Amino acid sequence: MDFLSTVKGSLLENFYPKGWDMKKIDECCDKGVAREDFWHKDFNPVECDNIYEFDTLMGHEIALKIKEARDRGEKLAMILPVGPMGMYKWAVYFLNEWKVNCDHVYTFNMDEWADGEGNTLSNDNPASFEYSMKQAFFDKLDNTIPPSQRNFATKANLPTYPEKIAALKAEGAKLVLVFGIGRMCHIAFWEPQFADEFASVEEWKKQCYRIGAKLHPLTIEQNAITSFKSRTTLVPCSANTIGPGLFLQADTIIGGCDGALGRGMGWQGMSFLTTLHYGPDMNITSTFMPTLPGKLFYLKELAGPLVAECN
């Protein structure tokens, strides 16, 4: 008996996005990290033995991009996530050790919790992404990024992202995308079911942001587990988010997959391997990431084998 034979007539029948080829996704889960022809020549997965190595290497990569731009005398635009988070401690460590002044950096947080109208949490709420970024990154830098150069995905500010990023790129700034991959293979909160709204991938690629985006149930459950200590009732069902019109502009990507829970359990293995092997498809947002230059750091257990195991 396999998964596909049990879906028809079950509660899952209309649960996953219409455009998902579940057989193809299942096949991706057996491929490890072998290179694919559609990968960018400068895209590379980087294996990490444990979360400590993962946080350090990813943090170093973020700090290095900031330092290199400083050394070249260039501005730098960075799209930043709140998840993963452990790398910010090490990015701060390296930047402070190297005594890098970060006033050349312009940051754009990729998303924020919101209601259906796009109204966000107050910035002193510990659940807000703005609060988390200040605590983990901005407030710990000795020579920090000026507050006027930090952008958060509020209802008023998110629509200004495209113009601001375009202006920076026109001045010669590079755009670095830092990201994690969601359980539903989203980048930021750009969910795969959004693809149903567009007639072509070209139209889909033009979407720069969405206010009050409705989140998939598995995205809500993922965040209940990773950020709210299992308390689903605290997780908002919508968010403001950037879209492919912005994250596909990246000159370099720094990705991270750290979704292992210990004792053999994890939530991100299928999402990670589908991202690597499915091939670019607007129904599975993260599948475009291997087409961009950069690094995707991952915990080695996420590469499989992904097999049944009682824990």
Q: Within 13 A of 133's CA, how many CA atoms are on the CB side?
A: 21
List the domain range (segments joined by +) for residue 186. 40-303
Domain contains 309: no
Burial call 181-194: b when 16+ CB within 10 Å, e when fewer: bbbbbbbbbbbbbb
Which pLDDT does position 1 carry in this prediction?
62
- pLDDT digits (tens), the chain, 311 positions: 677 778 788 888 889 999 999 999 999 999 999 999 999 999 999 999 999 999 999 999 999 999 999 999 999 999 999 999 999 999 999 999 999 999 999 999 999 999 999 999 999 999 999 999 999 999 999 999 999 999 999 999 999 999 999 999 999 999 999 999 999 999 999 999 999 999 999 999 999 999 999 999 999 999 999 999 999 999 999 999 999 999 999 999 999 999 999 998 999 999 999 999 999 999 999 999 999 999 999 999 999 999 887 77
Rounded CA-CA distance 203/39 in Å is 22
Distance (Å) of CA 17 to CA 55, 84, 96, 192, 196:
32, 25, 44, 7, 8
Order of strands, sheet of 209-214, starting from the edge strand that comes earlier in the sequence = 111-114, 238-242, 209-214
Domain contains 141: yes
Domain contains 231: yes
Domain contains 220: yes
Which pLDDT does position 6 carry in this prediction?
80
Using the structure block, give the residue that is written with the tokens 């509660």: 11
**Could you tell me the sign of the dihedral formed by the alpha carbons of 123, 126, 129, 132, in that order?**
positive
Rounded CA-CA distance 164/203 in Å is 22
Domain contains 2: no
Domain contains 205: yes
Domain contains 6: no
CATH code: domain of residue 291: 3.40.50.1360
Angle at CA of residue 265, ends 264 and 271, nearest 5°: 120
Domain contains 20: no
Rounded CA-CA distance 75/97 in Å is 21
**Could you tell me the sign of the dihedral formed by the alpha carbons of 10, 14, 15, 18, in that order?**
positive
Rounded CA-CA distance 116/78 in Å is 27
Rounded CA-CA distance 57/174 in Å is 21
Structural domain count, the chain: 1
